Structure 1
Amino acid sequence: MELRQLEYFVAVAEEENFTRAAERVHISQSGVSAQIRQLEHDLGTSLFDRSGRSTKLTPAGRAALRHARSALAAVDAVRQAVDEVNGLIRGRLVVGMVTACTVTPLFDALSAFHHQYPGVEITLLEDTSDRLMERLRAGTADLALISTAGTPPPSLESYEIIREPLVAAMPPAHPLCAEPEVTLADLTQHSVVSLPTGTGVRKVFDEACAAAGVHMEIAFQAGAPSAIADLAIRGLGVAILSDSLVAQHRPHLTTRTITDIPTEPVLSLSWSTTDNPALRQLIHHCHTSFSRPAPIPSPLPEPVL
């Protein structure tokens, strides 16, 4: 009995088809069939019922499947343990980030990690915070930069990066600029431009409006914070953003504190499990990158989305 025979056996059992199994393991169908026949000969019994349209496990095959999977998993665990000791981490990581959120320390961490572990393939994706959390919980993403309301994402491990209050941003000639600070009720007298639902900023804003019992007219929404700022600069509404992002658009935009929004958006690096040694190393690089002192002169603060 050979490990490759167990691999082919599991592939045929899961695909219920020799052709699809052969495509999955990247050898010819005749090669898979020959190895399965040899495995059946060694075990002294048939593992598959080949009489129907699809290939079904026999009772003996069903009994063997769980053990075959366990044997392959054990081999993977041995290989992974040795790779960790030797520093030969391999595999694939899916890293998510809030759409249009340019956070330089994350890119620095990815770059340092890639140079140390070039055998790990990294896929970077952008999405809303809500969908990124769903991906982490479903296991289709390994690590994500997520914005939430007030606290880091529940049921996930997180490293909080930054939190800051929301502000109203508008051109210097806007009527609200005459006030030292504004309330949600003041904003109801004007059009508002905002990020879409599913983002931390929008959730904080919507929850504050609901708590204050005010209805807000959202004139425009866009997934990129820079687009929100550009809309506000052109007089299409008051932008609801974090102050650090608006700072990049001064003097075209002026900000005012919104006094009755008690919750702050929180930008966190989140993950659901650290079973993957490559992920553990990437998290370590992220901790190092985000805790590193800013260079002189220091850049603008990173935006909270």
Structure 2
Amino acid sequence: MELRQLEYFVTVAEERNFTRAAEKLHVAQPGVSAQIRRLERELGQELLDRSGRAVRLTEAGAAVLPYARAALAAVDGARHAVDELAGLLRGRVALGMVTSHNVDLPGLLAAFHRDHPGVEVTLTEAGSAELVESLRRGTLDAAIVSLGPEPPPDLVYAVVTDEAITAAVAVDDPLAARSEIPLAALRDRPLISLPPGTGIRSHLDTACARAGFAPRIACEASDPSMLAQFATRGLGVAILPDSLARSWPGLHPLTVVDPPLRGRLVFAWRAAGPPGPAARVLIDRARHLLGG
């Protein structure tokens, strides 16, 4: 029994067609058929039913398939382990991130790529709720997300930023005469906020619900800098990370009190693991940089 035979068998089982499997494997179709026939003779059972238009697994084939996949995965894992020990890290890492104004993810990835050019890194941008769900499903290895008041127990993380959530208005707004504002005073104000599923919005919605009202959202945008621009045009009170609220030209920051709001941006990954070797190296590097 050869690994090549198992690989051909698994590919035909997944594609349900010899021609498509051969194209995926970049080999001639007769070669695929011949190798699978040799495997069947060795096992003494037909693994594939070739009588219909689509190839189907026989009962024996269905029984063999998970073992064939496990054998191929074990060999791939052994290769990764040897590559790691030899310093020739390869593989793939899938990352996600929220839109943020103060995270140097490009710097982290550039340094990682210089040290490990054989690793393919993919990056997805989405809301925190969607990214957290992708982490749980295993379609992402790690992600920069904004956590709500109750962090998911099945994730571990290193804190990227931990700062106040601040209200901000245009400098010519009547509220600009104040330095702070109680949360209850925002009850009837048009608010400019990140959309549902983001950490800051979760903090805002939770705090307002506890205060007995729903926030009046006038504008939503997934980019915090867009919220700041809307606020400078007088479209409402923007709910922003404190550092952005205090640095954006034309904005006046208002510290939210009674209660104060605070949010965290974190680099998160699954508590259950471990991830693949490439992802583990990248996560370790990120934790070292972030002090987590």
- Unpaired segments ≥5 residues, structure 2: none
- Deviation larger for 107-116 or 180-189: 180-189
Shift of 1:39: 1.9
**Please, what is the CA RMSD of the aligned residues?**
1.9
2:264 corresponds to: 266
1:135 corresponds to: 134
On the 8 A contact 1:96/1:124 being kept in 2, the answer is yes
2:79 corresponds to: 79
1:234 matched to 2:244? The reply is no
| Distance (Å, rounded) in 2 between the aligned partners of 1:148 and 1:179 | 29
Shift of 1:151: 4.9
| Distance (Å, rounded) in 2 between the aligned partners of 1:260 and 1:31 | 73
Shift of 1:180: 3.4
1:285 matched to 2:280? The reply is no
1:301 corresponds to: none
Kindly provide the CA deviation profile for residues 141-191 of structure 1, in whole angstroms up to 9, marking residues without a partner as x.
111001012354431121122222211101222111223321222223432
Shift of 1:131: 0.4
| Distance (Å, rounded) in 2 between the aligned partners of 1:207 and 1:67 | 48
| Distance (Å, rounded) in 2 between the aligned partners of 1:152 and 1:132 | 13
- Unpaired segments ≥5 residues, structure 1: 293-305
- Deviation larger for 181-190 or 139-148: 181-190
TM-score by length of 2: 0.92
| Distance (Å, rounded) in 2 between the aligned partners of 1:91 and 1:53 | 36
**What is the 5 A alignment of 1:1-305?**
1-104=1-104, 106-250=105-249, 252-272=250-270, 273-291=273-291
| Distance (Å, rounded) in 2 between the aligned partners of 1:101 and 1:198 | 18
Shift of 1:255: 0.8
| Distance (Å, rounded) in 2 between the aligned partners of 1:152 and 1:115 | 33
TM-score by length of 1: 0.89
Shift of 1:30: 2.2
Shift of 1:101: 4.2
| Distance (Å, rounded) in 1 between the aligned partners of 2:88 and 2:100 | 33
Shift of 1:4: 0.7
Kindly provide the CA deviation profile for residues 92-128 of structure 1, in whole angstroms up to 9, marking residues without a partner as x.
1111110244411x32221111111100011111100
| Distance (Å, rounded) in 1 between the aligned partners of 2:229 and 2:244 | 12
- Deviation larger for 158-167 or 203-212: 158-167
| Distance (Å, rounded) in 2 between the aligned partners of 1:195 and 1:247 | 18
Identity, % of aligned positions: 51
On the 8 A contact 2:205/2:214 being kept in 1, the answer is no
Shift of 1:69: 2.0
- Alpha-carbon spacing, 1:291–1:158, altered in 2? closer, same or farther (3 Å): closer
On the 8 A contact 2:179/2:253 being kept in 1, the answer is no
SS in 2 for 1:288: helix
**Match for 1:143: what amino acid?**
A
On the 8 A contact 1:168/1:240 being kept in 2, the answer is yes
Shift of 1:6: 0.6
On the 8 A contact 1:48/1:57 being kept in 2, the answer is yes
**Match for 1:212: what amino acid?**
A
On the 8 A contact 1:112/1:285 being kept in 2, the answer is no
On the 8 A contact 2:142/2:269 being kept in 1, the answer is yes
- Alpha-carbon spacing, 1:216–1:42, altered in 2? closer, same or farther (3 Å): closer
- Alpha-carbon spacing, 1:7–1:256, altered in 2? closer, same or farther (3 Å): same
Shift of 1:49: 1.6
On the 8 A contact 2:92/2:279 being kept in 1, the answer is no
Shift of 1:38: 2.2
| Distance (Å, rounded) in 1 between the aligned partners of 2:193 and 2:45 | 66
| Distance (Å, rounded) in 2 between the aligned partners of 1:159 and 1:135 | 18
